[in-house]
Amino acid sequence: MGEKWVLMKTAQTPTNIAVIKYWGKRDETLILPVNDSISVTLDPAHLCTTTTVAVSPAFQQDRMWLNGKEMSLSGGRYQNCLREIRKRAREVEDKERGIKIEKKDWEKLHLHIASYNNFPTAAGLASSAAGFACLVYRTNGFGFDAVFALAKLMNVSEDESQLSAISRQGSGSACRSLFGGFVKWIMGKEDDGSDSLAVQLVDEKHWEDLFIIIAVVSSRQKETSSTSGMRESVETSSLLQHRAKEVVPKRTIQMEEAIQNRDFASFAKLACADSNQFHAVCLDTLPPIFYMNDTSHRQVLIYICWFLLGDVGEKNMYKTKEVLIEMVKSWLWDIVVLGSIPVKSRDMNLWRTTSQKSVIEVAYTFDAGPNAVLIARDRKAAAQLIQRLLFYFPPKSDTDLDSYLLGDKTILKDAGLEGLKDVEALSPPPENGSAQKYPGDVSDFICTRPGKGPILLSNDKLALLEPETGLPK
């Protein structure tokens, strides 16, 4: 074979948000989790990673670039992934160009890998990009994107689940992104991790109504890396093992049912409860890990005020309402509307009458950072949600709406919001007549949907490496 050719593949791979959380490894090297987790894959049109992998006899060593910056490939995680994927490489032939790579050649050939994260985020807002690092790309891991693209380049015959078991060794939770729709990462039982892999529960068409709005919280603080954070939790939290062994197994079954049945109320309750518990375990860690901040708390309280007040369990109706009303009265609201409700009285029917909603229409979940991920039941609920979010968290005066709400902007029309003037004119939500606003707490919102799994891009213009040199464009 000639010495000058470069063979490339470019993939577009999505990100995912867990609704049953992964927190804690039982094996640090193989990245085997202490419990199953479930996630929804986000539409790559709004959030995705583009990855080009290239092979050439001219390459002197394996190299990788992330967002244009060369990264070291010396870490154990990269090496584990590369070894596993090389092991499975098969013969590849490009007859047109007269290139043929035998199975045994892959051992000697070096690779170039370039990844680029498509954050639809306002240019210049560094804080926003920082807030997103943990959401879109685990910088301390080797991406599943590279595993997927390399598998295609090397003509690997393994299916996506098998690839997820390899990709898991580069970056744990990202292995769920090898499918669209809802995905479960099975923890597995084997010591070698061979049965710890991702499976698709339903594809992205199964529950198309959902809208996902991410509130990127302005924050000077960087977070504890999830790798060290979860290690600390495993070592010091006395609650983590109980969660992993007793709580998550039942919750996973219930969540699968809720997803299969498109039962949004159950889905929302489980997702919120599991997010709460993940952050509870972080707090139970020594020293404690704080991912949620005051802005995150406010997001939760908006949600509680809007929905839960109208949908309390029958059994403990009074009790639940009492605490909710106290929370709402106390934290976020100035007690004008709510102050008229006789909290001390047991006649809670009055409140039921004043409540606008009796159905849960939004779920929240928080990953290892302060950003709220809000999942709305449907377009109508999403429009109502974005009205509330933009009311409470308007942009700073120097930001325009177009760079403040990113992703799927069609929702703005449903919400009757065409520009900043409409946002400024928003009335307080009916559940809260005297609401305080928090301009600047959020740097931007991203509206997206459940999305498809990774795909190969056939358009060579989208490749990140030069076809002649294999170096970044």
> Binding residues for its own copies, per CB under 8 A?
221-225, 228-229, 231-232, 235-239, 242-243, 246-247, 269, 272-273, 276-277, 279-290, 292-294, 297, 300, 304, 308, 316, 319-320, 322-324, 326-327, 329-332
Nearer to its own copies, 109 or 324 (CB): 324
Beta strand 405-407 with 442-448 is: parallel
Rounded to a whole number of angstroms, the minimum distance from the CB of residue 37 to its own copies is 17
The residue whose two tokens read 């997206």 is: 448
Rounded to a whole number of angstroms, the minimum distance from the CB of residue 371 to its own copies is 15
Give the DSSP H/E element, type plus range, for residue 167. helix 160-167
Category of 67 on φ-ψ map: left (φ > 0), alpha (ψ -120 to 50) or beta: left
Nearer to its own copies, 149 or 373 (CB): 373
CA–CA distance, 204 with 208 (Å, rounded to integer): 7
Nearer to its own copies, 297 or 357 (CB): 297
Rounded to a whole number of angstroms, the minimum distance from the CB of residue 151 to its own copies is 29
CA–CA distance, 305 with 177 (Å, rounded to integer): 33
Rounded to a whole number of angstroms, the minimum distance from the CB of residue 286 to its own copies is 5
Nearer to its own copies, 64 or 281 (CB): 281
Q: In what order do the strands lie in the sheet with 69-71?
A: 69-71, 63-66, 110-118, 48-56, 7-14, 455-457
Nearer to its own copies, 13 or 233 (CB): 233
Nearer to its own copies, 292 or 465 (CB): 292
Nearer to its own copies, 238 or 458 (CB): 238
Give the DSSP H/E element, type plus range, for residue 443. strand 442-448
Category of 116 on φ-ψ map: left (φ > 0), alpha (ψ -120 to 50) or beta: beta
The radius of gyration of the chain from alpha carbons, rounded to an integer in Å, stands at 24
Nearer to its own copies, 221 or 261 (CB): 221
Rounded to a whole number of angstroms, the minimum distance from the CB of residue 282 to its own copies is 8
The residue whose two tokens read 């094996």 is: 27
Nearer to its own copies, 297 or 352 (CB): 297
CA-based angle 132:123:211, to the nearest 5? Answer: 50
Rounded to a whole number of angstroms, the minimum distance from the CB of residue 393 to its own copies is 16
Residue 203 amino acid letter: D
With b for 16 or more beta-carbon neighbours within 10 A and e for fewer, the 282-320 pattern comes to bebbeeebebbeebbebbbbbbbbbbbbbbbeeeeeeeb
The residue whose two tokens read 């596993």 is: 84
Rounded to a whole number of angstroms, the minimum distance from the CB of residue 363 to its own copies is 12
Nearest to 311, CA basis, from 301, 324, 299: 324
Rounded to a whole number of angstroms, the minimum distance from the CB of residue 423 to its own copies is 24
Rounded to a whole number of angstroms, the minimum distance from the CB of residue 251 to its own copies is 9
Rounded to a whole number of angstroms, the minimum distance from the CB of residue 394 to its own copies is 19
Rounded to a whole number of angstroms, the minimum distance from the CB of residue 378 to its own copies is 23
- Please spell the DSSP secondary structure of 21-73, one letter per residue: ----EEETTTTEESS-EEEEEBPTTTSEEEEEEEEETT--S-EEEETTEEE--
Please say whether the beta carbons of 271 and 212 come within 8 A: no
Count of residues for the chain? 473
Nearer to its own copies, 54 or 66 (CB): 66
Is the bond preceding 394 in cis, omega lying within 30 degrees of 0?
A: no
Q: Which tokens sit at 450?
A: 């459940």
Nearer to its own copies, 319 or 473 (CB): 319
